Structure 1
């Protein structure tokens, strides 16, 4: 299954109405996106054909946008993660925002890119080998852009995703 591009408009922009079975399917798939249809059906106490049809419906309605691998970046030699707040210069904001997002989200160090309201315009979540790589990323890829007014870097010691702890070791 291919994930839709982040920020793309779902097929149906209205909130999906989910019944109890749909909610249970979503909860199970959030915990284990690789569960087999047979195991999903058993966990739900429904026929495999029902589990398959309901999951397909959730995908078609845009509730489930993709299935993703949880990667251990430490095993890839990118054990240091950071969240970098980026403030853009005032002015031609729309063009600067679009250009910044297009350029930064394609960088291999970037895990996630958030366009936010508040002090920062963007939060850039990266994974790199060490602190010198964080510095190099900020200097080469963020501060070097004319549209960037300032950056604030926070090192991530530990994170939690969907109630699952993922400490850095």
Structure 2
């Protein structure tokens, strides 16, 4: 990874303001910044969800994320990329993931951000366990995530 790519996996809450500031540092080489954050959601499918536990395989997960960022940098002309991902226990509403991408033009930044998230969901080793009071359920890979990643092949 070069200076312009950063990966953070942490068990502490994500400081979205600090991450946003980090990704947008520069000397004018970026005309566009796209920021995506994903949070623990409670929708009709997850009624009663109280939280989620995320686990990863240290070392391997970072390597997978580095490969995804490297691939993005070969597809688009990007100046900065940052992926921050939580592990451990998170309550409903807490941010899980932050992806920030800067480039000269907005189209590249939007496309690269989508690519990174699609590949992260499909190729990065994270395991999710949802908590419903005293009951826990491991989350399986979703067909929609596989389909989303396939469009970039």
Same fold (TM over 0.5): no
Higher strand fraction (1 or 2): 2
Larger-Rg structure: 1
- The alignment's TM-score, normalised by the length of structure 1, stands at 0.32
